Amino acid sequence: MYYNNEIWVASAGDKKISIVPKMANRHGLIAGATGTGKTVTLKVMAESFSDCGVPVFLADVKGDLAGMCRPGIDSADMQERIARFGLAECGFDYEAYPTCYWDIYGQNGIPLRTTISEMGPTLLARLMDLNPTQTAIMQIVFKIADDEGLLLLDIKDLRSMLQYVYENAKEYSAIYGNMAKQSIAAIVRSVVALEEAGGDQFFGEPGLNIRDWFQTGDGGKGMINILDCQSLINNPTMYSTFMLWMMSELFETLPEAGDAEKPRMVFFFDEAHLLFEDAPKALLQKIEQVVKLIRSKGVGIYFITQNPSDIPNDVLAQLGNKVQHALHAYTPAEKKKVKAAAESFRENPEFDTMEAISSLGIGEALVSFLDRDGRPSVVERAKILPPKSQMGPIDEMTRNRQIQQNNLYIKYEAVEDRDSAYELLTKRIAAEDAAEQQAKEDALQAKAEEKQRKLEEKELERQRAAAEREAERKAKKTKTAVKSVAKTATGTIGREIGNTIGSSVGGKFGKKLGGNLGAALGRGLLDTLFRF
């Protein structure tokens, strides 16, 4: 609980063990075997930060954090703990906290979406389990989309963008570097798998504006943003990638905070080992960098995991506020891990740290927080305070009421689908198809016209030839007619002349002479006529 301007988390006898709000951005760790009390510790811390006006984000992996919107339920056990810690004198009361439920599947909370471009190619590649070559292609595809002003908002956008790059792989490879069609096809297959895993729900608009987490509730209490991860945790890669994206988003969105009196926000990361398992080196470096730099933005990150050895040393070294619940130390491997965990604490001469870790009871922990000067305090064996709000889950009706009453519900409930890569590429492809169709039709038309022209030419030729033949035939006919007319005419004329000459000669001889002469004259006349 928030007491004397400090985040009071546990007590060792009469000694109150608290986080100084100023040092809360120096990150933290809550570790311990299953069932030892990590979630309760997280709850106590989250409530105290909220009391201090600091908004909180936490991942609810089992649904047992949801009860924070309700006051705790009194019991004999609680009364005993209230008395043991002397909480009544310090103003302890059961209390409900301002909560905002989120869910990337939109079932158990306000839909928490992001866009494909906000997620970025590196995290998407992790989400889709792409190999380095495919990751590099993904980066190029993002670059092409950027260069061509195509927004990548939802899964449709990503798929159509990849399809388009696939269709035009040769042209794009010439500009951006080689992209094998086979690799692009493999990415498309991963996109389909991502879609089936819910990608069509959590990629899109309106995407989360992370500033909406920075609300305060009644009495200036910090909002407790609870991401329901009961389904999400079944896909560990997706869970850890989303958590990392949120951390990065906080890092990128927030301005430098300097040395503030209290953090701007505290981010609890449950099942944190999932973030580091099988993470490629580049991603690990990114996580380390975000963890290192985000505290200057006023954000404290608290990792919750079973064993501190789940967390890489470079990150572990940056976690100043530590709560270590019990760990088993039966096998040599376990003993080694417990030894490492014990050695990370500043020793307390009153007990053996290593022995204590393996003998802690439920709700008990080894605790060391940074003091006002940023030095780790001597480790204390302490008991964690009970939470003020209800432990465990809530019923569906209460949850739905909480969700729908939240003023952010209206903002995020419905999906918006503005024009982005999918719509623009669909239009572009339709225009290209239409142009192609038009070109095909034009070519067919030209071909048909050429055929028609040739046919007409042939017909003209045929007609010309027919006309010529006709003219020839007619000419021949005329010639024959003239010839016969002339023949008759010249015969008559010749006969007339011959007869005239024959009569003048007289007698039978004169007649025959006249006839022969007439015929000869007629022939001569005909020849003369036809010579001209």
Ligand X SMILES: Nc1ncnc2c1ncn2[C@@H]1O[C@H](COP(=O)(O)OP(=O)(O)OP(=O)(O)O)[C@@H](O)[C@H]1O
* Nearest-approach distance from CB 38 to Mg ion, in angstroms: 5
Note whether 32 binds ligand X by CB under 6 A.
yes
**Which residue, judged by CB position, is nearest to ligand X in the bound state?**
363
Residue from 308, 363, 502, 518 binding ligand X (CB under 6 A): 363
Interface mask toward ligand X for 40-59; x: CB under 6 A: x-------------------
State which residue, 225 or 390, has the beta carbon closest to ligand X: 390
User: Is beta strand 380-384 parallel, antiparallel or unpaired with respect to 364-368?
Assistant: antiparallel
Please state the separation of Cα 418 from the chain's center in Å.
15
Please tell me the distance from the alpha carbon of residue 432 to that of residue 464, in angstroms, as a whole number.
Answer: 47
> What are 433's two structure tokens?
């198809």
Stretches 37-45, 51-59, 205-213, 316-324: which one binds ligand X (CB under 6 A)?
Answer: 37-45
Beta-bridged to residue 8, according to DSSP, are 18
Q: How many residues does this entry show for the chain?
A: 532
State which residue, 387 or 522, has the beta carbon closest to ligand X: 387
Q: On the CB side of 144, how many CA atoms lie within 13 Å of its CA?
A: 27
Note whether 307 binds ligand X by CB under 6 A.
no
Note whether 16 binds ligand X by CB under 6 A.
no
**Alpha-helical runs (H) found in 229-324:** 236-253, 273-276, 281-294, 313-316
Binding residues for Mg ion, rule: CB under 5 A, are 38-39
* Nearest-approach distance from CB 434 to Mg ion, in angstroms: 59
Q: Count residues binding ligand X (CB under 6 A).
A: 12
Note whether 220 binds ligand X by CB under 6 A.
no
Q: From the list Mg ion, ligand X, none, pick the one residue 40 interacts with, judged by a Cβ distance below 5 to 8 Å according to partner type.
A: ligand X
* Nearest-approach distance from CB 354 to ligand X, in angstroms: 20
Taking the C-alpha atoms of 366, 58, 210 and 219 in order, what is their torsion angle to the nearest 10 degrees? -90
* Nearest-approach distance from CB 34 to ligand X, in angstroms: 4
Q: From the list Mg ion, ligand X, none, pick the one residue 384 interacts with, judged by a Cβ distance below 5 to 8 Å according to partner type.
A: ligand X
Helix (H, G, I), strand (E, B) or coil at 458: helix
Note whether 322 binds ligand X by CB under 6 A.
no
- The three-state (H, E, C) secondary structure of 128-185, written as one string: CCCCHHHHHHHHHHHHHHHHCCCCCCCHHHHHHHHHHHHHCHHHHHHHHCCCCHHHHH
Q: Do the beta carbons of residue 204 and residue 158 sit within 8 Å?
A: no
Stretches 34-42, 336-344, 404-412, 524-532: which one binds ligand X (CB under 6 A)?
Answer: 34-42
| Interface residues toward ligand X, by CB under 6 A | 32, 34-40, 362-363, 384, 386
